Amino acid sequence: MSTSVNLYAISFQNKENSIFYSVINFLNEIEGMLNTVDGPHRLVRDIDGKVMRCFSYYYSNNRQSVVIPFGKLKQRNKPYWINAEKNILEEISAELFDINSLAYDSASDIMFFTTNREGPTFQNVKDYLNTFIPPNSGIEIEISPLLINAGIEKIRNAQLVRSVTINLDLGKSLNNFYNQQIENNQPSTLTQALNSIATCAQDGESKALSLEIGLGHGKENATLELESMLQLLEQINIQGDFVKEIVVTYKNGVKDRVDKAKLKNSSIELSYKFNIAGNQIAPEFLLNNIADVVDAKRMLFRPALRDHFSNRVEFHVDNFQIIEVWDPNP
């Protein structure tokens, strides 16, 4: 169990793009089954060999935020209780579920998910939700982890940045990157300078190029200007094939040792850890603290969401009836 949540983008999509279709309305339709006589039974699904269902929703006062517990039936290793009449231990016969909770804030279009390892995964939940969508609708629910560059976050939080070293491969991929920027009318001063330097290096039959921006042996409290450096790095496609590595040396404090952050292939899932006692996040607690997660991580998840939804398109979908009676083998 864990007191952390991971952050995700949740949306409807067709085969190629994210589309404008209300996630919250869809979730509300599923909730409506809880209020029918046999609805709770119909919420049960077999997902990848696991018996799953959702439980009663928790809403904020303005109903813009919702928390939904999802349970995976505990089929083995059940706890025991003492039967006082027989004075023996017996395995609990009631249905027990390992839980993870999904939180969705419609105002920010962001989803959180708790990280109890025994509970259903976000992939299980995605598959579960898609069992309520008719196959002929042409759409499905997609849940995608939001990734951030761990190296950049280290230097963003550093007090002192001492140097930046950029190692480039002077092959076709660098030329392709530069030509693409020319075609899109987006060549920056930096990329133009890199192209000029690379051309000179290639004329000398060099196959690699290393550029270092640093402070040398200056004062211990000297630092590169952080925002300018981050803007410089944003102009480079860090994950491009022509970037072999970008290494930043930094210090968290004047008296701390110099450390290094490598920016290539250092993506991690965006998460938030609650500083609470215990080892599990209750649905009520998650609902009451959604605003804290949004405020703490907004600057990080906004760019990630913008990238995720950059191809979102209008897509006409007739209002479909959710599948209440599910056939695992249609």
The DSSP result for 141-198, as a single string, is EEEEE-EEEHHHHHHHT-SEEEEEEEEEE-SHHHHHHHHHHHHTT---HHHHHHHHHH
d(CA 7, CA 19) in angstroms, rounded, equals 20
What are the pLDDT digits (tens) for 276-288? 888 889 999 999 9
Query: Which pLDDT score, from 0 to 100, does residue 218 have?
Result: 61
Strand, coil or helix: 240: coil
Q: Distances in Å between the alpha carbon of 177 and those of 40, 191, 260?
A: 54, 9, 27
The alpha carbon dihedral of 284, 36, 32, 138 has a sign of positive
Strand, coil or helix: 88: strand
43: nearest Cα among 68, 20, 61: 68
| Position with higher pLDDT, 324 vs 101 | 101
What are the pLDDT digits (tens) for 165-191? 888 877 666 666 655 655 555 555 666
Query: Which pLDDT score, from 0 to 100, does residue 152 have?
Result: 82
d(CA 110, CA 297) in angstroms, rounded, equals 10
What average pLDDT is seen over the chain? 83
What are the pLDDT digits (tens) for 64-80? 999 999 999 987 777 77
Q: What is the pTM of this model?
A: 0.77
What are the pLDDT digits (tens) for 252-282? 877 788 888 888 877 889 999 999 888 889 9
Would you say residue 100 has pLDDT above 60? yes
d(CA 302, CA 202) in angstroms, rounded, equals 39
